[in-house]
Structure 1
Amino acid sequence: MRHARYLLTLILAFVLLPLLAQEPTQPIRLELPLIPEETEVEVIALPDSSLLVYHKVSNAWETIATFRFTKYNHKLEEVWSDTAQISPDSDFIRYYTEAPYTYLAFDGDDYQEYTFVRLHHKTGSVRHKRFELEHIDAIYEFNVLKGNYFIIGQNSKDQKPVLFHLNPASAEVKRLPSIYGDESKFSDLLADPEQGRVDAVLTESNGRISRLQVKSFDAQGKLLRNFFVLQKEDKSLLNAEITPGDTTQKLLIGTYGSRDLRYSQGFFTMPLSADAVEGEFYNMLQLKNFLKYMKPRREARTRRREAERLRAGRKPGYNYRLLLHDLIVTPTGYLLGAEAYYSVYKGSNIGHPGIAPILARYREPEEIKRSHAVVLSFDRNGTLLWDNTFRLSGVTTYDLRHSVELQHFPDGRVVMAYPKDNEILYHIMNENKYEDEETKLEIKLYREKEKSLGVDQPGIIRWYGNSMAAFGFQRIRQENGPPRRVFYINKISF
């Protein structure tokens, strides 16, 4: 019997290993005759396994512009297409999907005027309306609950973040109650349609310590509940994502620090209940793979040095700046992704991962570089199940935005991926098992004898099932004739 089980294990290993190592496929490609000099494009995944492609074509002065919205099914076949007569100076900011609609927010040359477009997924009907939001001059976050808009913006007077409720039917705008200290900021905004409420997570700080506050509103903007989240004396709660569900099930999952409130020293989970004063805290040395982006000898040296600091009763010497991703709900719990980044300043080498810059504090960064991305898996109670790391090589942006896409597949696999010119670099996570090998996928063209001459504005988003969508503007050398320029969308199936 034991031999039979052993034989069965070997057979399964031979069958499954090739499947796990198999390179992702690219079964479908769509090309659109668009060029980057005159086109703005956004690709949005819809809940019904389709894609919504918005593109704006305008002249150099933005005096003439066409705004087009097109839906493609899972085979990248056009389902419907329509345009909206929006002011030519309008530019896309953010979107939010509340089935059966997707809402898109646009700003314009007048910083206090915003246009909101509503698209029906099935029919393609387009409605748009312009509103004057006189108290803000920028929009950071945008959620929709039962057709009502919840907007985090920048106060035009003091540049602090504020939360507004907008009823598009009546055009009534009201500022929602919150505490806005000098160091306060919003950490998360989550519309929970099943519970009929919106949860806003605020980080409150006096510059030395910080805590979290959670405010819950109904669809009309009425304050339902207010939570002040306590923490241990030696830990400041910096940022957090909130889980969906009723109050007894909700968790906060985020980062904490101690000395400098700009830098994280670990992750925490905490139940959102009136008597919750304790949570689970995981410093970065407790995580199995957080430091795996380093060379082995450097990681060992770092761990040895930090262990000596702890034995001597000193505070940790490592500090990281982390950009959190939205939580992903899985059948067994939650996934939290984060990107570790550091700033490079003009004329200086100041800024390295894990080291808090001092002289650079009052200077504007020239570039924002990533050292690595991490994913943490938690169960429904907030207990850490595993962590893993994805080393990021040469990933640089000029503003603080997500560079890596994280997706959980129905078969339980977790993948992190990012685009780099004509390639997709990806890592399929096998729970705690760290893989140092870099895996790449070259973007496939229509014809084998064609060659990519370069990709502008590459991107990748999670789509449906085991598929992601990669896209960008591409110059292609043809077998016969001059190079052609297109905007492509490739389906990537893992």
Structure 2
Amino acid sequence: MTFPMALKFLLSFFSLLFTVNLFGQISQPLRYEIEIDDLNSDYYIVSAKDEGLFLFKEMEDKTDDNEFVWEIIRLDSNLNEINKREVIIDKKFTFKGYSYDNGKFVMLFQEGIDYAKDLLFLTFSLTGDSFNSYLYENLVPIKLTEFEVKNDAVVFGGNVNMRTVVMMYNFIAEKGVVLPGFYNDRSSLLQIVTDTDDPWVRIITSDRMPSKRYGITVRAFNTMGERIYSNELLAKDDFSLTDGRIVNGSEGGNLLAGTYSVKRRTETSRGIYVADFNKEEGNQINYYNYGELENFFNYMKERRKERVLKRIARKKIKGRKLRFSYRLFVQDIIKQNNENILIGEAYYPTYSNRSYGYGYSSYGYDPFTNGRATQVFDGYKYTHAVIIAFDDNGKILWDNSFEINDLKSFQLEEHVQLAFLENEIVMLYLYDQQLKIKVIKNNEIIEGKYSEDLKLMYESDEMKSNDEELEGLEHWYGNNFYAYGVNKVKNLRDENIKLNRKVFFINKIVVE
């Protein structure tokens, strides 16, 4: 190597080091493990923000009276155990959900498998080792789909006879109520919103209009179940609003964003809308077709992307409408300084063919089966995540995207997380024990997608296997996240460490 070439190499090397240091460091300072056996399931995890985490699971062994035993572990933000306890639950109850807000962790149990009769709430406080239990004698059996806690109350909703019902239970009054305005066959429950700066709970529903198009209704209640307001949002002619997420604006939830479709279609969408709930001026809705976004198609290979962009340009010249249809799973919208950040993950359902021989099906002998093949749902495949920033008037400021085409799941759920630095945004998700990372600044790519392995507990640990269906990455507090999952680990060198162990783990991830 000649001297000029060597000098050029060294300059490039140090430039790369400087770039990595400049645009965000990902560190994994801590790991927590619980050794489990093949019969044990993984733990549920709920964030208590900077106060730590709650871990809980149903134990394999029951009491002598065949009652359920639940283990609850509390960790601090350094993943140290603060306390561990066991709670006995009557055998007539089954676990249904959990939530956390403002120092209160609540577990929900219901009597009944599909439809909830009586409900049992267990509340755990960050202060003290005790817990409280509340029994709600429910008169309306309900199939629960949503559950949230807000200050001194829990809100839960679902379906009764194919109609939306939302209820509230106040822990101070020890009283439950059915919230008014929901029981009809034209609405479906989208979201219960509690993460706002004011003391109100907001309920978002999708409502089918007489024209068979869909609109969005937002209703606000206090924690005693008294209605504060109800606001209906209707799309312009031939459009339907298919989803909606509240933005916690300066007045507390006065902006709504989501996806819209054409006419009666709700399974796919044509773009993003942003609406301003301003009672004095009326509802103003801004629509943004996917084809109008600058970086929406960056997930495609270059040639395909060029063809799509040329087609968009030709349609614009001819004054023709842009027609792109996507399934987009919209996450909660993040308020960051003067920007509102929307994240959506594009996906499509996949199916596999299963064939059955003459007279047999997967359930055994079937005289009506004659060598037929049937399609079976095989999970959701993701293509990319889109991130869009808009101001408090609903005007788009910039957009960007993140390729996530290695992801697949059987339930629609959030995968991509965001960390906000001084001038950049770090986008990250977890796949097969690797953090996938991309750094952007508005619509620019500062650092392209790269990977970083999750760290194991000991230097000599080697991972033998990982359960992809049990792993995940969640936001914790600030720019701190936690990755979790189940590993089988081998260690040949360290003393006093098992040769082979199966563990449920939590890794603390810090972006700075």
State the TM-score bracket (shorter-chain normalisation): 0.7 to 0.9
> Structure 1: how far apart are the matches of 2:16 and 2:411?
46
Structure 2 counterpart of 1:322, one-letter code: L
- Larger Rg over CA atoms: 2
> Structure 2: how far apart are the matches of 1:48 and 1:407?
17
The structural deviation recorded for 1:467 is: 2.0
Paired position in structure 2 for 1:7: none
> Structure 1: how far apart are the matches of 2:139 and 2:346?
36
Task: Give yes or no for the alignment of 1:99 onto 2:68.
Answer: no
> Structure 1: how far apart are the matches of 2:36 and 2:323?
50
Paired position in structure 1 for 2:159: 154
Task: Give yes or no for the alignment of 1:389 onto 2:409.
Answer: no
RMSD of the TM alignment (CA)?
3.0
Paired position in structure 2 for 1:218: 222
Please identify, of 91-100 and 333-342, the stretch whose mean Cα deviation from structure 2 is larger.
91-100
Alignment of 1:397-412 (within 5 A): 397-402=409-414, 404-409=415-420, 411=422
Paired position in structure 2 for 1:261: 266
User: Does structure 2 conserve the Cα–Cα contact (< 8 Å) formed by 1:288 and 1:387?
Assistant: yes
Task: Give yes or no for the alignment of 1:175 onto 2:175.
Answer: no
> Structure 2: how far apart are the matches of 1:90 and 1:405?
34
Paired position in structure 2 for 1:228: 232
Paired position in structure 1 for 2:472: 459
Task: Give yes or no for the alignment of 1:53 onto 2:55.
Answer: yes
User: Does structure 2 conserve the Cα–Cα contact (< 8 Å) formed by 1:49 and 1:463?
Assistant: no
User: Does structure 2 conserve the Cα–Cα contact (< 8 Å) formed by 1:188 and 1:242?
Assistant: no
Paired position in structure 1 for 2:166: 163
> Structure 2: how far apart are the matches of 1:184 and 1:435?
43
Paired position in structure 2 for 1:352: none
User: Does structure 2 conserve the Cα–Cα contact (< 8 Å) formed by 1:141 and 1:189?
Assistant: yes
Structure 2 counterpart of 1:32, one-letter code: I
Task: Give yes or no for the alignment of 1:76 onto 2:88.
Answer: no
- Extract unaligned runs of 5+ from structure 1: 1-12, 349-361
Cα 1:70–1:442 shift into 2, 3 Å = same
Determine helix, strand or coil for the equivalent of 1:38.
coil
Paired position in structure 2 for 1:43: 45
Structure 2 counterpart of 1:272, one-letter code: F
Cα 1:130–1:424 shift into 2, 3 Å = farther
> Structure 2: how far apart are the matches of 1:24 and 1:221?
44
C-alpha distance after superposition, 1:368-413 (max 9, x if no partner): 11111122222333322222211112311122222x1423336454
- Extract unaligned runs of 5+ from structure 2: 1-14, 355-373
Q: How many residues align?
A: 466
Structure 2 counterpart of 1:162, one-letter code: V
The structural deviation recorded for 1:278 is: 2.5
The structural deviation recorded for 1:277 is: 3.5
> Structure 1: how far apart are the matches of 2:57 and 2:252?
43
> Structure 1: how far apart are the matches of 2:481 and 2:276?
32
Structure 1 counterpart of 2:240, one-letter code: S
2:352 to 346, 359, 366: 346
Task: Give yes or no for the alignment of 1:492 onto 2:503.
Answer: no
Cα 1:133–1:428 shift into 2, 3 Å = farther
Paired position in structure 1 for 2:36: 34
Paired position in structure 2 for 1:468: 481
Cα 1:292–1:92 shift into 2, 3 Å = farther
Determine helix, strand or coil for the equivalent of 1:441.
strand
Structure 2 counterpart of 1:478, one-letter code: N
Please identify, of 418-427 and 132-141, the stretch whose mean Cα deviation from structure 2 is larger.
132-141
> Structure 1: how far apart are the matches of 2:268 and 2:230?
27
Please identify, of 290-299 and 107-116, the stretch whose mean Cα deviation from structure 2 is larger.
107-116
> Structure 2: how far apart are the matches of 1:143 and 1:389?
30
Structure 2 counterpart of 1:283, one-letter code: N
Paired position in structure 2 for 1:478: 491
Determine helix, strand or coil for the equivalent of 2:477.
coil
> Structure 2: how far apart are the matches of 1:154 and 1:39?
29
Please identify, of 427-436 and 141-150, the stretch whose mean Cα deviation from structure 2 is larger.
427-436
Task: Give yes or no for the alignment of 1:129 onto 2:147.
Answer: no
User: Does structure 2 conserve the Cα–Cα contact (< 8 Å) formed by 1:231 and 1:277?
Assistant: no
Paired position in structure 1 for 2:442: 431
Paired position in structure 1 for 2:335: 329
The structural deviation recorded for 1:312 is: 5.3
1:281 to 287, 293, 302: 287
> Structure 2: how far apart are the matches of 1:264 and 1:78?
45
The structural deviation recorded for 1:262 is: 2.1
Give percent identity, aligned residues only. Answer: 24
The structural deviation recorded for 1:118 is: 0.9
User: Does structure 2 conserve the Cα–Cα contact (< 8 Å) formed by 1:422 and 1:452?
Assistant: no
Determine helix, strand or coil for the equivalent of 1:336.
strand
Determine helix, strand or coil for the equivalent of 1:453.
strand
The structural deviation recorded for 1:183 is: 5.1
User: Does structure 2 conserve the Cα–Cα contact (< 8 Å) formed by 1:188 and 1:201?
Assistant: yes
Paired position in structure 2 for 1:67: 70
The structural deviation recorded for 1:471 is: 1.1
Please identify, of 177-186 and 14-23, the stretch whose mean Cα deviation from structure 2 is larger.
14-23
